[in-house]
Amino acid sequence: MATFDLIIRNGKIVTLDSIVQGDIGIKEGKIKEVSLGKNLAANAIREINAEGQHILPGLIDTHVHFNEPGRSEWEGVKTGSRSLAAGGVTTYFDMPLNSTPPTINKENLALKRACSEAKSIVNFRIWGGLVPENIENIKELYENGVIGFKAFMSPSGIADFNHVDDITLFKGMNEIASVGSLLAVHAESTVICDQLAQEKQSKNKTSAKDFIESRPIISEIEAVRRIISYAEVTGCKVHVVHASSRKVVDVINEAKQRGIDITVETCPHYLSLTIKDLEEKGGLAKCCPPLRDEKEVEQLWVALANGEIDLIASDHSPAPASMKEVTNGDFFKAWGGISGAQSTLNIMLTEGYFNRNLPLEKIVELTATNPAKLFGLYPHKGIIAVDSDADLAIVNLNESFKLKKEDLFYRHQHSPYVGRTFKGKVTTTIVNGNVVFEDGNITVVEKTEINS
C-alpha cells in the first residue's frame, strides 16, 4: 500500500532560510514529510522526479481582478485561475470591483464565491469593498469571510464602485478596525490627478508622456500621507497597493518606524516596464498609477533587496483588446490595467534572480511567505513544511523561453510581456496535493460551469 499520494523527489527545496535538495511526501492535500539531504524511504501513488529543478511554495497573488460575476467577457475565474496555475500561483485574492455587482455586501459576496468555487482550479480568497454606500455592510462582509477591504482614493473607472471621500474613508477605517480586519487602498490624489488631466486634455496633450505626467508620484505620496494620518487616529491596519516608486515606499517605511500598522506592495510591471514600453506598446502597458522611468525601476529593486517592500502582487486587470486601443494618440481614453498574472514569477526570476542577484529565498518571502503571514494564512500556506498545505511550484532555472501569446491562458491573449525572453520556467504547479499544471498544460478535469 502506498504511504503517500505524491512524492516529489530530488528537488532543490527553497525556503526562507535555505535551499537544500530533498524529497517531499504529500498525502490528503498536506505535506506530511520533508526529507532534506536524503531520499524519502517510502512509496506513493505517483512520483515526480524534480532533479535539477527548484521547488518553491506556491505563489500567493493578493491582487487580481477576475471580473466575475458580470464581466466575464473581460476575464473570468476559469481562464484567470488557469493562467495563475501556469505561473506557479496556487492562491489568489479577487478584488471586489470590475465584478457586476461589486462585492460590497454579503449577497454579492455569495455570488462571487459561487463563481469562484465552481470554476477556480487554485485556492482563492475574496476582497470586500469599501464604498460610500456600504459602511454598514463592513461587519457582515467580514463575518462572511472576506480577506480584507479595498477602497479607491481616486475614481476606480468603474461606475458601480465609487471611490471614497475622506469622511467615508475615516468612518470605514473605524469600522474595519473594530472587526479586526485590514484596508487595502489605491492611493492616488483625486484632486491632483483630475486637475492635471483636465489641463492636459484642454490643450490636446494626450501622449503617453502626458498621461504619465498627469498622475505624478507626488499624487501617490499625498494620498499615502493622508491614509497614514487616518490610520494613526483609527488604529486601522492599512495595506498600500501597487506603489510605483521607492519615494512612496519611503513614506510608508517612515510611518512603520513610528509604529503605524501599514504594509506595501509593488507589482511586476513597475519592476520591468517603463514609459518607453507605454510609448511602444500603447494601451497594453497602460495602468494606474502609471509606469515610471528606468531610475524609478532600479530604485524599486533596491527597496526590494533592502526589505522595504512587503510583497509582490500582479494587479492583473484585464480587458478586451478593443478597450486597450489608443485611438488618435489619446492615452487618456484606453482602459488602464495590465494583464500579467501568469508572468509574475518569470519576471521575479529573470529581472530579480538572474539580472540583479536577488536571492531565491527573498523571492519566496515576497511572493509566498509574507502574503501568507500578512493575511493570516501562515503556516498553512507560504512555506514548505510538515502539515502545511501542499501548494507548490516546481521551476527549471536552466530553461529559457520567449513568451508567445499562444502560451497565455487569459481570456484575451495579450500582455505587454509577449515577446520577452524569460529565464526560469514553471514546469509543474501543485494545489492541495493535486497537479494542476504540468509541461505547459492544465491537467485538471473541467469544473462544472455556472452562469455568470
Q: What is the mean pLDDT of residues 343-369?
A: 98
Q: What is the CA radius of gyration of the chain?
A: 21
Instruction: Report the amino acid identity of residue 133.
Output: E
Return the residue matching grid coordinates 493578493: 62
pLDDT band at 1 (very low <50, low <70, confident <90, very high): low
Q: How many CB atoms lie within 10 A of CB 301?
A: 19
Q: Could you tell me the three cell numbers for 408?
A: 497565455
Task: Report residue 215: phi and psi, to 5°.
Answer: -130, 70
CA distance 337 to 98: 11
Q: Which of 2-16, 154-168, 289-303, 433-447 has the lowest mean pLDDT?
A: 433-447
The arrangement of strands across the sheet holding 89-94 comes to 59-64, 89-94, 123-126
Residue 449 pLDDT exceeds 70: no
Residue 16 pLDDT exceeds 90: no
95, 383, 351, 402 alpha-carbon torsion, rounded to 10°: -80
DSSP-assigned states of every residue in 43-62: -EEEEEE-TT-EEEEPEEEE
Q: Could you tell me the three cell numbers for 189?
A: 490624489
Burial class of residue 118, CB neighbours in 10 A (0-12, 13-18, 19+): middle
Q: How many CB atoms lie within 10 A of CB 144?
A: 16
Q: What is the pLDDT of residue 185?
A: 98
pLDDT, tens digit, for every residue of 345-355? Answer: 999 999 999 99
Closest CA to 312 of 274, 369, 348, 366: 366
Q: What is the mean pLDDT of residues 283-309?
A: 98
Closest CA to 83 of 414, 402, 372, 392: 414
CA distance 441 to 366: 26
Find the length of the chain. 452
What's the mean pLDDT when you consider all of the chain? 96
Q: Where are the alpha helices (DSSP H) in 333-399?
A: 344-347, 355-356, 360-364, 370-374
Q: Are 403 and 309 in contact (CB under 8 A)?
A: no
Q: What is the pLDDT of residue 37?
A: 85
Closest CA to 126 of 188, 108, 136, 137: 108
Q: Where are the domains of the chain?
A: 4-55+387-442, 58-374
Closest CA to 240 of 270, 258, 223, 265: 265
pLDDT band at 451 (very low <50, low <70, confident <90, very high): very low
Q: Could you tell me the three cell numbers for 57?
A: 511554495
CA distance 120 to 122: 6
Residue 47 pLDDT exceeds 80: yes
Fold of 58-374: TIM Barrel (3.20.20)
**Domains 4-55+387-442 and 58-374 are alike in CATH topology:** no
CATH number assigned to the domain covering 4-55+387-442: 2.30.40.10
DSSP-assigned states of every residue in 236-301: -EEEE-----HHHHHHHHHHHHTT--EEEEE-HHHHH--HHHHHHHGGGG--SSPP--HHHHHHHH
CA distances from 295 to 42, 216, 245, 274 (A): 52, 15, 10, 9
pLDDT, tens digit, for every residue of 95-154? Answer: 999 999 999 999 999 999 999 999 999 999 999 999 999 999 999 999 999 999 999 999
Q: Half-sphere exposure of 378 toward its Cβ, with a 13 Å CA cutoff? A: 16
CA distance 314 to 266: 8
CA distance 219 to 224: 9
